């Protein structure tokens, strides 16, 4: 598993371990945290751009499944430095695909992004997978490019795959100090009684899906939905202002939000249709937003330094 010390990856690693799978993690720890992982998990502190290092791992462990979650995930950072974004998200993915083919990996499960895949104004909301991809940020472009390389390796070499396009994932262990993860950022600042900033007017709409549901989709994809690209979301949109008010109530926060300039590359609205995941994967979101937020706030309350 790449990116296994990060937010989604560490939650997935924990569930795989609970199901008695051997788990091997590659993570450069640029945003991940060793403390997120059980001590029994093999952790290689490597960058996915380092092909020779990765090959040593494939030679030694001969993984059956590759869960590829490592990525440059910040849309604003991708706008500022598109080359670095492409190096990690495209070249890093190619390294893993080449090695997966060479060492007989049975299935490649890729964490993609539905939130940036369908452009600024898709023709329908919630948006299904058959809407043509139209990413507007370098991050979205690199994720889509990685998807196309995965499909090429399937057609050319028979590599089995499932691509999961997530909406906005939130939950325990999310890093509150980067630019991604508004739930984690808001929760942390509210619990510390610090100012909370909202970009623009706060009416941007997002589809928030709980990390436990995302983990479940990955587990199901091990044996189902070969050759599929599937949205993983809830089909329900929530504005940033609405999210702020929900978290304000849960944390007991007494301040008002400060509105600042919008961020470059941010979409106005993104909501995903997950009906294909129900049909092909047998998946559905189990956590309502309010319930997932409560679990998230509880975790941050107990784990903030």
Verify whether residue 139 is a known catalytic residue. yes
Q: Which of 65, 139, 161, 287 is catalytic?
A: 139
Taking Cα atoms as reference points, which of 36, 35, 33, 43 lies closest to residue 1?
43
What is residue 248's DSSP assignment? Answer: H
288 backbone dihedrals φ, ψ, rounded to 5°: -70, 155
Alpha-carbon radius of gyration of the chain: 18
Output the CA angle 133-226-59, nearest 5 degrees: 105
- Residue 251 zone, left/alpha/beta (φ > 0; ψ -120 to 50; rest): alpha
Helices (H) and strands (E) in the chain, counts: 11, 12
Query: Phi and psi dihedrals of 42, rounded to 5?
Result: -70, 125
First to last CA, the chain: 28
Measured in residues, the chain has a length of 305
Q: Contact at 8 Å (CB) between 271 and 126? A: yes
CA distances from 167 to 64, 117, 135, 208, 269 (A): 27, 10, 14, 6, 11
DSSP state of 47: -
Residues of the chain by 3-state class (helix, strand, coil), percent to 5: 40, 15, 40
Catalytic residues: 139
């Amino acid at each position: 598993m790449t990116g296994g010390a990060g937010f989604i990856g560490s939650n997935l690693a924990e569930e795989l371990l609970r199901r008695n799978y051997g788990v091997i993690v590659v993570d450069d720890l640029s945003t991940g945290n060793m403390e997120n992982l059980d001590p029994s998990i093999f952790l290689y502190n490597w960058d996915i751009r380092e092909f020779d290092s990765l090959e040593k791992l494939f030679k030694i462990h001969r993984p059956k499944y590759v869960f590829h979650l490592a990525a440059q995930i910040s849309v604003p950072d991708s706008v500022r430095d598109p080359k670095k974004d492409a190096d990690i998200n495209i070249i890093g993915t190619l390294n893993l695909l080449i090695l997966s083919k060479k060492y007989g990996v049975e299935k490649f499960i890729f964490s993609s992004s539905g939130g940036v895949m369908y452009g600024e104004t898709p023709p329908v909301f919630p948006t299904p997978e058959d809407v043509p991809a139209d990413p507007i940020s370098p991050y979205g472009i690199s994720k889509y490019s990685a998807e196309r390389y995965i499909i090429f390796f399937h057609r050319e070499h028979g590599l089995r795959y499932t691509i999961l396009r997530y909406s906005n994932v939130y939950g325990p262990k999310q890093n509150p100090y980067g630019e991604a993860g508004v739930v984690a950022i808001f929760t942390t600042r509210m619990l510390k009684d610090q100012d909370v900033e909202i970009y623009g007017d706060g009416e941007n709409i997002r589809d928030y899906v709980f990390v436990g549901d995302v983990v479940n989709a990955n587990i199901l994809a091990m044996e189902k939905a070969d050759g599929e690209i599937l949205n993983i979301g809830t089909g329900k949109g929530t504005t940033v202002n609405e999210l702020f008010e929900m978290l304000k109530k849960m944390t007991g926060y007494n301040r008002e939000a400060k509105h600042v300039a919008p961020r470059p590359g941010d979409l106005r609205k993104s909501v995903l249709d997950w009906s294909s995941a129900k049909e092909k994967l047998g998946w559905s979101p189990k956590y309502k937003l309010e319930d997932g937020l409560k679990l998230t706030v509880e975790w941050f309350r107990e784990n903030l330094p």
